[in-house]
Structure 1
């Protein structure tokens, strides 16, 4: 009888381990511990000159990291679409500037930059901005894509879009 109870106990422990492993595999496959990131876009549009037919379009991108793990930013790209034109804008400023050791100085113009990435720690926020000239009184479609990863995990991507409408006449 004691041997039978020991075998049942062992079988239940093995079953608990297998079910626990399946539970965690299921959680991982459905998004548990995926990097959480809030991506938002804000635009500002001002006339360049009164009769130039052009506006300055300022685009502010805000990345707000959630509370799960650190995000390593690989790339951010912005697509601006109007009429029949598509303009792609990159953010090379995501690469870290070179710190000159010994004199504790930042060198923004160094050609010797390592391909180190900007990281976002939990609950950290970063703002990036670009501006371009666009035709006045023309709707502009803006789309931003972010690519990043988490150590020992796969790449993640986020997308967001907005529209900027001209002031009209």
Structure 2
């Protein structure tokens, strides 16, 4: 009987220690998101640019926009297909998925800097253009996501810790 009580006490202490650890990790994530000296990557490090800051592509691709297994690609006649946007992983699509999904089947023109998409024109409309403003917004979105995750970890694990202590 005594070993069961000791075992339950150790399990509670381990759960509290885990909650405290998650609170610390959350606090670290919030701190990092606020005080990091990082900044969005400069567009000039990704692509050559002209005097106006517009990218200068090194490869042009024309085809029909298609979607298959969480990837958008250009289907080309008598040539390999070219992936325009991969929508896998936690980050999702680079180009908002809703705007591209309704355009599948239309003719498209893509410009690339190396392997990076710099501009996508579908049926004569610019759907995506790589700019410094876009890079900055992606960085801000990532930073805000890290901050929200840290805040949620602190809140949830703090509440869990308070709840466990109130049951003593």
Q: TM-score range by the shorter chain?
A: 0.3 to 0.5
Q: Which has the higher contact order (CA 8 A, sep 6+)?
A: 2
Give the structure-1-normalised TM-score. 0.33
Give the structure-2-normalised TM-score. 0.33
Q: Which has the higher strand share?
A: 1
